[in-house]
Amino acid sequence: MKKKILVCDDNVDIADVLKIILEGGGYEVKVLNEGRNILKEVKQFNPNLLLLDIMLPGIDGKEISLKLKSDKETKKLPIIVISALNNPKQVAKEAGADGFIAKPFDMQTLLIKVNGCLGKQQAVLH
């Protein structure tokens, strides 16, 4: 059974690229382009990992991450924040996230971080 990743990024092009890369890495991927319904979607889709953009309209990724980490049902969900901010490592820490990926990113770095977070041994593109 494929591990599931929920991607939340308001940039449709980046979200599409993430989906293509991750599906090529053997994951089932669902994409959201806004954070408004993400809490409900996390509970319905039940992902193994959340890739979360920090800069989202309405509710930002930091707030989403903090909410998920404070909820007993979702607190163990690994979250990797994706950010073009100058200090993504600090932002990830403040958000209670498990890791970060700085934009722009390359495919191998993305898959290595995702695979590491999900316990896969290697990054393989199909």
Q: What is the CATH number of the domain that holds 63?
A: 3.40.50.2300
124 located within any domain = no
Tokens 């209670």 sit on residue: 96
pLDDT above 50: residue 107:
yes
39 located within any domain = yes
92 located within any domain = yes
Residues 7, 33: Cα–Cα separation, whole Å:
8
Cis peptide before 104 (omega within 30 of 0): yes
54 located within any domain = yes
Q: Helices in the chain by DSSP H: which ranges? A: 12-24, 38-45, 61-70, 88-95, 107-118
109 located within any domain = yes
Cis peptide before 88 (omega within 30 of 0): no
Total domains in the fold of the chain: 1
pLDDT above 50: residue 123:
no
- Report the 10 Å Cβ neighbour count for 63: 14
Structure tokens at 98: 């498990």
72 located within any domain = yes
40 located within any domain = yes
Segments forming the whole domain that contains residue 67: 4-118
37 located within any domain = yes
pLDDT digits (tens, 9 = 90+) for 40-56: 999 999 999 999 999 99
pTM over 0.75: yes
Of residues 58 and 42, which shows the higher confidence score?
Answer: 42
Helices 107-118 & 12-24 angle (0-180, nearest 10):
60
